[in-house]
Structure 1
């Protein structure tokens, strides 16, 4: 609509604004904007959008409409502005009570402390000087405190903290930055902080906690979405003690530091600095300086460090008082979900921590920190959690008429996804469902999301694997509700997630897909994990795969890389050559080779798998980079990526195009690797040549498929694409061949994005 909707002093117009416009200070922003431009009217929330009625000169109304998107609060996301003529009551612009409407998926994530609040807690003259729960409409807890909608204080965990007169005055003042800030609080009326354990009971809790950390003790710190376990990141003894108590021998630990300290620890690009300082405040994987002043046990064997800036007033105060970077790792026992309830923390973390820094604001739901990495020109989310969830994702426009879907994801890195038309709500990271406590948390989260967003699915989507807990839950929900159940193959879901995030429409047709991950059940009942597909949203065809090998001992092979190495070498070199090679004799010393080979000969507990993840395990084991038994998922692959250095010609792979599906054969790779081991080639160069060779083998095969099928886009997804070196190589090589790579960024490439892909596949199938 142009400026002719009314005359220069006309009756006015109604404007609807949709997007993320609730809980972000949008109405006070509109109020101030209208007063600045001399406009009359009103603004109100209306369920899934904001309705504005304005009167005044046409030019001022046009400027107002333009500013709604260009000047919106930092937390807002304006997706659409619709204008139409309408009568508007006379009088000064005002904010009116919220109206009824469809429940929105527009609850915003928890947001890092804004500059104004940081300045306030540092100002001795301010009312909130050193107050650990300071916030405003631009920052503070959101999703972690919401108990219902609409998003108002009674429907948050702040309901038990009545506002004092001073806070009430700020809350009611449209000109104040705390106007309708639901978590508003101050020392007189808000949550309080205390320390359990330690000495000097009369001192400030922050100062006492900092003193304990400087003395080498380990603390549990209650934050926004759960507890962290903290210690001095420069104290080798404290880090070693934390690892011993938590039974976490090698998995890297995240570090919290201010920006200046982060620069002292890591090489940080301008894009990475912007990501660190973003309101979502993720843990960002950054290149670690070789002389970084950190305890050596923080990230053993790694060249990257997970760093986050302090994102709550409590963190800012604690970090400043400690005067050093702090380990901030998830508050849990090894493999269990993060703890977020006080009594559970006292019980489960006893014996791990020496003291507890506590507060009395309840946490409504567990939210792990988000994790991201800047790769191939984009920030790419590896774990979607606090600061990102539940910000909705936008589906391509031709999903507007899709039925609502509930997708339940996979077994590891579980997350669920709910769709409303072109919006998809991908949940926060929930954990691995093979851990009983995580399984219980998953079912709680499913009910929580459904109630919070009033979601009533018309179809349920699950993985093909019949034994996944998420699959069984989906089957039960579909049966109980009389709903259709869509089973989506694991790697098809990965490709669909990459396509949908890239805005690939249903009408755009199929793409080539490269799926590289650990394991996923294939349509033929075998285990897949390194596939080239041709797929649209409804269907998928497997064209090629990595040559499969037997996983001796089944799941044991995923935990013990030497088993996978044996299978690859026996296939590539022959058993006799393996047994007489002195390098391999040492590598397999003490291992039950006769038993494993007998199992493989008889087909006993040796599922066949075409897994890229297991190939990484085997190469890492051959280069002496993997322990006999992994202590965490991806340990061997991370070590292989970390050691790779410099440029190296690619190791060769074979391609057997005559088979169905075609096979990408690693036999030449292992022969070349063995020759280099005998020649004494540095393993850093060998690791680099492996990455380059794997990238070239799959890109070359995908390019052949694209040419044969007349396709121009290649989707890349699966957990292996968390490897920055591999992803960079593959994106560069695809572009050099004139192919467009579709790579996830907001959606994790690992199984954390699986539910998103399942949801769009199920929706597309139901749309026909």
Structure 2
């Protein structure tokens, strides 16, 4: 048989697995990598060959994702023995690159065994774990095409690499202390420090200092998570006022001491992807310093995913903060010289090494919803593994994504390759990361896009990038249609559905700023069926940073602009009211995100924000989960739903002395009621029974839970996100599938 295996089958020990399987079954032949995946020829008895082919998928190595096995009979050659043959780089590339994977149990045992030659070696790995995407320069996945190319194997490692019975047989990053990367501890100026680097690094943390740590996809900044002064110092130096830090703990048992874990959350936390998992803190303050996650009932927690992390956590008596190595709003530092330059004013010491990182990749962030993962940021551990869709892309597509939380996607055949998290395209460094990332993906997956999809907003840097490309067909995709298409494809559905897209804002087809949308949508097109009634956004972008401005706008809209507490706190309110009343620098928006801002300001939760969505997040945290009451809205006018009725009800309750947690809960419940009633009206006119929920506002777990429960109680089938984020990190995925659907209709 001549066999072709496609999927994530390179860099995951697939060839050694095939060699072992064939040898065990007494088959002759060969296996190799090429630009399509894995090619195999086997000969032997008919029974053995059939068993071999049938075993390729169910017995594949743990990191492999076998998408297709195609076998055709050929004439036997009379070969003896089974061999791994040299890789081929001819033809069009179709091989899939695997994501970086956490250190496996076998490697951890070696790391901890004083009798093993890799005892305490911080770069131990094998075919079942270790760096992949972040070190790959090109395919096929072989050592010369990775950042391990500069480390020649010693005789002992070469013997393991060539031993068919060894776990490291053809493991490309295989190395040891004699031939692999080396660790160093540097001071803030880049000068080496003496002593054992890990021991000294642990001492840096114990003294309350800030440590920069080189990980798989870039540098992190670390402090003792129980040290309030250290956490505050990190915030001051990093220019990160309030946004929570992630925390790393040594084991899942340590995690259980801090947070509550259900089965899904425990599985996510311990998975080979090792994301940051958003988990509910146990009651009481616990040992974590308040400055780590100020006022937040949840904690972003992760377990060690490199040998270096394991070694460091074993020497630390406490959990550690491990946050992106950057100044706020900049991309994570991943090159050594750049890290020293950008982080020397933040870190007191650098725990670093000499294995280059080819692609900067932030940690992924995930939470659990109804027993399945719900990604908040899809990056390390997930990217660049493709998202399979059940539809063919007639021509290759590049989707450029949004401005905030940017990802891009390339798509061909039945795969969409969603990039690692790029970030907010608001500075030159992030834009460089975007453009270099696009070129890397195009090369890695051999995608020459015929179609380039982009957002409709003319000022997005991703849109400008798309429009500067030549020799391609451009297709603009409305922001909220991309959200709903992303949710559809996330659930491998085509629609049409009732799509509810709630977010901060997106450019509408009428030139206004949308953000509270009810669409009737399929993959190729959509209609705007209803929306939250638009209100002015006084000062434009200033209203995003200062939620009290949106409170003034909504108070005017609902006729409640009296001597409200929010106005007394902000003496500039008359000027802002003038902007609203005269329509000066006050673009209209239907944004659900800005509605949350208004209510948060009215309740005194937050007048100014230091990161995106802060006011809405804190409003959710405030809510009394046991309150059943829900505010009501009046009938829509011309498709515009008067969401300001919710604001009016909240103001009346505040004036009546109702506690803010109850007001917040009634607002959340009222918005869930509003969504359900709007969907019921659309169902009457369309007959649609499925509702897709997307947009960053639906990362609010209270709103999501209440909305899904209400919809299902009315007989709707709900679609929510899992494989890609509901926020703008999923926009490029939606753009790609919209472009593909339109192309199929040509």
Determine if the TM-score, normalized by the shorter chain, exceeds 0.5: yes
CA distance in 1, matches of 2:690, 2:192: 64
Distance 1:738 1:61, change over 3 A: farther
Of 532-541 and 436-445, more deviation after overlay is shown by 436-445
Distance 1:585 1:282, change over 3 A: closer
Can you give the 5+ residue segments of structure 1 that lack an aligned partner in the other structure?
A: 1-12
Using structure 1 for the length normalisation, give the TM-score: 0.94
Residue 596 of structure 2 corresponds to: 616
Q: CA deviation at 1:147?
A: 1.0
What are the Cα deviations for residues 734-758 of structure 1, in whole angstroms up to 9, with x where unaligned? 2222222121211111111111111
CA contact (8 A) 2:264 2:371 kept: no
CA contact (8 A) 1:565 1:619 kept: yes
Residue 239 of structure 1 corresponds to: 231
What are the Cα deviations for residues 252-298 of structure 1, in whole angstroms up to 9, with x where unaligned? 00001122211111001111111111111000001111233111111
Residue 630 of structure 2 corresponds to: 651
Residue 277 of structure 1 corresponds to: 270
CA distance in 2, matches of 1:748, 1:129: 39
Residue 294 of structure 1 corresponds to: 288
Aligned pair 1:157/2:147, yes or no? yes
Residue 158 of structure 2 corresponds to: 168
Aligned pair 1:475/2:461, yes or no? no
Q: CA deviation at 1:200?
A: 11
Using structure 2 for the length normalisation, give the TM-score: 0.97
2:527 aligned to 535, 541, 544, which one?
541
**1:206-355 equivalence runs, <5 A:** 206-258=198-250, 259-291=252-284, 292-355=286-349
Q: CA deviation at 1:179?
A: 1.3
Match of 1:128, SS state, is: coil
1:102 aligned to 86, 89, 92, which one?
92
Distance 1:329 1:491, change over 3 A: same
CA contact (8 A) 2:552 2:576 kept: no
Q: CA deviation at 1:127?
A: 0.6
Residue 475 of structure 2 corresponds to: 486
Of 166-175 and 90-99, more deviation after overlay is shown by 90-99
2:695 aligned to 694, 718, 728, which one?
718
CA distance in 1, matches of 2:628, 2:393: 50
CA contact (8 A) 2:33 2:140 kept: no
Q: CA deviation at 1:619?
A: 1.3
CA distance in 2, matches of 1:14, 1:496: 39
CA contact (8 A) 2:375 2:724 kept: yes
Can you give the 5+ residue segments of structure 2 that lack an aligned partner in the other structure?
A: none
1:749 aligned to 712, 726, 730, which one?
726
Distance 1:413 1:652, change over 3 A: same
CA distance in 2, matches of 1:202, 1:227: 21
Residue 515 of structure 2 corresponds to: 529
Residue 76 of structure 1 corresponds to: 64
Residue 600 of structure 1 corresponds to: 580
Give the root-mean-square deviation of aligned CA atoms. 1.6
Aligned pair 1:733/2:710, yes or no? yes
CA distance in 1, matches of 2:672, 2:51: 51
Residue 5 of structure 1 corresponds to: none
CA contact (8 A) 1:376 1:731 kept: no
CA distance in 2, matches of 1:58, 1:309: 47
CA distance in 1, matches of 2:530, 2:743: 28
CA distance in 2, matches of 1:52, 1:655: 66
Q: CA deviation at 1:587?
A: 4.6
**1:622-701 equivalence runs, <5 A:** 622-626=602-606, 628-659=607-638, 662-701=639-678
CA distance in 1, matches of 2:507, 2:576: 23
Aligned pair 1:143/2:133, yes or no? yes
CA contact (8 A) 1:411 1:468 kept: yes
Distance 1:644 1:658, change over 3 A: closer
Residue 86 of structure 1 corresponds to: 74
Q: CA deviation at 1:74?
A: 1.2
Aligned pair 1:408/2:400, yes or no? yes
Match of 1:144, SS state, is: helix
Aligned pair 1:444/2:444, yes or no? no
CA distance in 2, matches of 1:200, 1:97: 41
CA distance in 1, matches of 2:634, 2:5: 54
What are the Cα deviations for residues 172-195 of structure 1, in whole angstroms up to 9, with x where unaligned? 112211111111110000000010
Q: CA deviation at 1:105?
A: 5.0
CA distance in 1, matches of 2:147, 2:54: 36
1:393 aligned to 387, 398, 406, which one?
387
Q: CA deviation at 1:764?
A: 1.3
Q: CA deviation at 1:37?
A: 2.6
Of 559-568 and 286-295, more deviation after overlay is shown by 286-295
CA contact (8 A) 2:37 2:95 kept: no
Distance 1:678 1:649, change over 3 A: same
CA contact (8 A) 2:566 2:601 kept: no
Q: CA deviation at 1:242?
A: 0.7
After TM superposition, the runs of 4+ consecutive aligned structure 1 residues lying more than 6 A away are none
What are the Cα deviations for residues 479-500 of structure 1, in whole angstroms up to 9, with x where unaligned? x22x111000000001111111
